[in-house]
Structure 1
Amino acid sequence: MNEVIALEGVAKRYDDAAAPALGPLTLSVAKGEALAVTGPSGSGKSTLLNLVAGLDKPTEGSVTVAGRRIDQLSEHALAKFRREHIGMAFQFFNLLDDLTVTDNILLPAQLTGTGRCSATARAAELMDMLGIRKHARAYPGRLSGGERQRVGVARALVNRPELLLADEPTGALDTASGHDVRELLTDLHRGGQTVVLVTHDLALAEACASRTIHLVDGRLALDTHARAVR
């Protein structure tokens, strides 16, 4: 299977609004692709991300992720599917302040029933890869914004998901930390990770996305492929 995401005729309406918040939209994302979703506020970026994550369901059309029609799944099945196949990194990190860095990273693995030894080895591997091993026993409040985002990405990747979703991953960071996260996402894409990121940061899209789509009023206004990720 080459497609990690396939949206067919997807539309989302709220409160019987005349115009949909998104769509109709047909879109596919290939395995190993890094897609940046851009557009002004209210253009449908967050709606698209929520549909792909299974956090919302379309009014029309079908949403297939990693070979499964997720719009047809129950809430319980969706939660299980997300834990096993989708990693999510958030603008404000969503880390648990009373857990150490290691325990924050381990949480999704524990929810899927992964053995402690295997999960701990995977967490150590990710901390080494992301340059945060020295913070393994620290608490999130002691870290910089860029370091906390790296912990969030490690947590998102601990179950080896087919898809990483990143929602404004540099939005809460200073310039230097934002640059670090751009490099991180670029490295993950180069390593073969499929990434979809929603961003207002055009420098982020240009630096680490192999493809960028631009939404306006819920419609696809532009779909461009980069020559290469630098």
Structure 2
Amino acid sequence: MSRAAALSDSLARGAVAPSKALLAGEVGAFLHMRWAAAFGRAVPLPVQGEGRPVLVLPGFMASDNTTARLRRSLAGAGFAVHGWGLGRNLGVSANMLEAIDRRVAEIASDRPVTLIGWSLGGLIAREYAKCAPERVSRVITMGSPFSGDPRANNAWRIYERVAGHPVDCPPVQCTLSEKPAVPTIACWSARDGVVAPASARGQEGERDLALEFDCTHMAFIADPKAIRTVARLIVD
């Protein structure tokens, strides 16, 4: 799809980058939420993990440290939860899906794994599930811009500078809006100051369920209510 066609499609879906006011709210809350995401105490969860394997993929410029509170909370409820183990997420690379495949084989060789991806991590999770659906139980994305124009967000410019490729031309073959052949849940928020809600929500046929959260972009992996909701989505 050409850039002009993608923009027209995005506008038709209501997918435009969040306002400067919402982005300012993200910036203002960044330090607090980043601290909570990395160091906040585990959140008591109303579910039993029963050893279900879970792999959590961080967002752009984030690492496993940023998803620590979410993972601690899931571990405390009995999930066999793991970080992606690939360091800081600096963008999509040509061998990234192979690296995810090796990680999945390490942590869940005999059981399908639930993939939880925050922001860019959710896009990677969806693409991996398309390649290896037999290894994936379900995909849960949080504020991940898989639908419409990939520039309907406030992060694409810095992404292109860091990753070294256009946001709509990654070094892997993919159609972001195409749904994986596994249950796929898209978590989105009208308060998201980074990703357009319509891009993270998607349309019928692009995901199985879209669930609205009441949180900022950063809070998807830090806010106790959001963490409890994500935990329920794994077992429901």
TM-score (normalizing by structure 2): 0.34
Q: Which has the higher strand share?
A: 1
- TM-score, normalised by the number of residues in structure 1: 0.34
The structure with the larger Rg is: 1
